Amino acid sequence: QVQLVESGGGLVQAGDSLRLSCAASGRFFSNYFMGWFRQGPGKERAFVAAVSGSGGVTLYADSEKGRFTIFRDNANYTAYLQITNLKPEDTAVYYCAAGPMSKGQITPQADDYTYWGRGTQVTVSS
């Protein structure tokens, strides 16, 4: 069982940067690839980025390349999502999720993730 707790969200202004954190419980953090998803108002949950168990491989949604950076600190059981030049359309609840590396490779498919956090709200004002 892995428990995930997101933090770092809040109300920011357009152009600001933000770093979201996802703290994981459990001893086998590196056995899981980590992903970030977001759900904006009136929208479906969408994939943002994922990182492999070692941190050496990353995957981004095409629309998020450039402003989003995912990375992890396995020693501290934490995954991060750095967002720069925030825009009002980035307003969403951001969720982190964990999927077993036994699946073979990191994936943007929500169904491949086993554990989910409750999310952290990011609101970007113009």
Percent of all residues in the chain with a pLDDT value above 70, rounded to a whole number: 98
pLDDT at 28 over 90: no
Residue type, 2: V
Is 71:52 a contact under the CB 8 Å cutoff? no
- For the segment 38-66, the average pLDDT, to the nearest whole number, is 93
Q: Is 9 helix (H, G, I), strand (E, B) or coil?
A: coil
Closest CA to 1 of 115, 126, 125, 123: 115
- For the segment 12-18, the average pLDDT, to the nearest whole number, is 97
